[in-house]
Amino acid sequence: EVQLVESGGGLVQPGGSLRLSCAASGFTFSNHYMDWVRQAPGKGLEWVGRTRDKASNYTTQYAASVKGRFTISRDDSKNSLFLQMNSLKTEDTAVYYCARRPVGPPGRYGQFDCWGQGTLVTVSS
């Protein structure tokens, strides 16, 4: 069974840091680009960023709202995805989801065919 399980969420003060993890199972993790998507309480979905696979040199993309503060990384040997969040702001409060991009051209297979259950990050003093 394909599964993504996030962990690491919690309460952090403004200006603080937090590292989220996403454990993957049931598929060949190393073959997939992986993304983070967040959802503020009662709000819509916001794409946070992406890490590509080894073949694409693990390059990353970020939303402007987190660029320079958040870093996405992965450890293919442990089937794990990470989101290092620094200089956190109250507006970063959200449920953070990891999501998988299907293997193959996006023009044929699209994005985000599998999601984790999410982990809540609360930034508050």
Partner 1 sequence: DIQMTQSPSSLSASVGDRVTITCRASQDIRNDLGWYQQKPGKAPKRLIYVASNLQSGVPSRFSGSGSGTDFTLTISSLQPEDFATYYCLQDSSYPFTFGGGTKVEVK
Which is closer to partner 1, CB of 105 or CB of 125? 105
- Shortest Å distance, C-beta 19 to partner 1: 20
Which is closer to partner 1, CB of 16 or CB of 110? 110
Query: What radius of gyration do the chain's Cα atoms show?
Result: 14
- Shortest Å distance, C-beta 125 to partner 1: 26
Which is closer to partner 1, CB of 68 or CB of 107? 107
Terminal Cα-to-Cα distance of the chain (whole angstroms) = 40
The site for partner 1 (CB under 8 A) is made up of: 37, 44-47, 61-64, 97, 106-113, 115-118
